[in-house]
Structure 1
Amino acid sequence: MSIQAFNEMRKIKRIHQAEYRPIADLITYSPLPTRSLQQIDPFIFLNHHGFQTYPKGNQGLPFGPHPHRGMETLTFILEGDIMHMDSSGHESVIGPGGVQYMTAGKGLIHAEISSKAFKQNGGDLEILQLWINLPAAKKMIAPNYIGLQKDQIPSFELDSGRVKVQQLFGQWNGVDGAFEGNIPLSMSTIYLKKDGKFEKEIPTSENIFFYIVRGKLKVNEELVNFRNLVEFENSNGIIQVEASEDAVLILGHAEPINEPMVAQGPFVMNTQQQIYEAYQDYQAGKFGTWNF
């Protein structure tokens, strides 16, 4: 279907620039949450680490053992790697182009650090982590983790190869996503060459997560730079995207959960009492044993 087939485009509500929030020597930007945007239900948090180049003999990522409950993490590795270890016994090293999907559920302890090889040899690093909320009925499900390398993730091309899509959740262009989510969800990592373009029609009831990782895009006729999140209204119309330069985009959409949310530290629950219980359970050792 051609871009000219539709006249109506989904309205852009606001463009949010990611805020600079370094963590030790790790360059970090975050567009969500900020003073201007608390969440795009069910998407509640994004950290964009890098781009930066680590020297030989570096300390790597600073995310040692820590707990989570009540949410999920989706981690995009563009450059560098992540060694994941958790109290459920999962362990893997995922490299460039790979993705990690972790369900914290009722609680686990995990670490996200750089591999021994990366710390020894150094190299480029760019990694993003997105937190996705879970509905009350699923906040206490069993924890789970899946890590996939680039060649294990289904992908397809649009616009004569100028747009390459990694399909992570849901179905697009007849391609099923790599992961089966705990909520109905569509999520893609999209790599665009200059002048590459695509369009997508998304149900009006669904909230859109649209974050430009690299490059510059024309989004519904408006130019948007990298490290910006585009917030859309829940209006009729399609999304039209054209790359003004080579770019990387994370695009997701889902029905909002529409439940009370209390996020405190590593826990995302529905009430303050549940947050208190999460801390109690963690201190009582109910999140599993750390054996690494």
Structure 2
Amino acid sequence: MERQEFGAAVRQLREATDPATVGLPVGGRRVRGLRREELGELAGMSADYVRRLEQGRSHPSAGVVNAIARALRVGRADYERLCALAGYAAADGQVPTDLGPGAERLLERFSDTPMFVSDAAMNLLAVNSAFMALEHWDLTGDRWEWNIAWRTFCAPFTAFKQSAADATDHEAVLVASLRSALLRYPRDASLAALVDELRSRSRVFDTLWRAPRPVEAYESSATFVRSDGDSVTLVGNLLAIPGDDLSALMLTAAPGSADAARLAEVVSAADGPAVIKVGQPGPG
């Protein structure tokens, strides 16, 4: 059964791969995605072996799994799924931190909506200029100054206000996300250190870690106070980017509301690049 499932997964990924993304010509094709011969050439194996794999008649080695994943340029989640179906652990067990073209396009296309992209450990990887225009993300000099969980539990933002109910929902999501990440990436030393530090520094986090609250909604409301004294209340919705194991948070206001009008003013005054990669000692 596992061989059949692995073979089906390889075939599905092969047929879903755009030839152009792996450097192959697009024209004159009668089938979707790549041919078996093309996958075999890219992965360093025969087309007949690819056929046997897809039909569940051969069990791949760990090296074969890695070669297929590289040839198809799959995201982290698909790579881990192939490893699991073949009976192997993922090669490194580290939280992926590549922004990826899909996440970058998301930030670019929603330029009028404050948005950021984070990895599975809740580290911000990139933001758009609309997000920076909210002016609430100050830098502390801490190791985890760009980590959402750390900033929530150990170094709260002074210009970020939430009701008790919204804060409860927000905290539950963060703890659940980190618990899930630690299960998926048990060998990531930085992630383990972050969790240990959070449990040592924050009694609230440690309590939630030992007895997690159920996640009722992957959204919460917050008020952002800008340097000019004005404020805008927005709702954050967390969206998964599964292929790269990333998440995106979009901040929006109710259509036609005073907050929507204020947000439009704030965003219209935003400048700088459309996508700002972060995680270093300052945006850049």
In the superposition, the TM-score normalised over structure 2's length comes to: 0.26
In the superposition, the TM-score normalised over structure 1's length comes to: 0.26
The structure in which a higher percent of residues are helix is 2
Higher-Rg member (1/2): 2
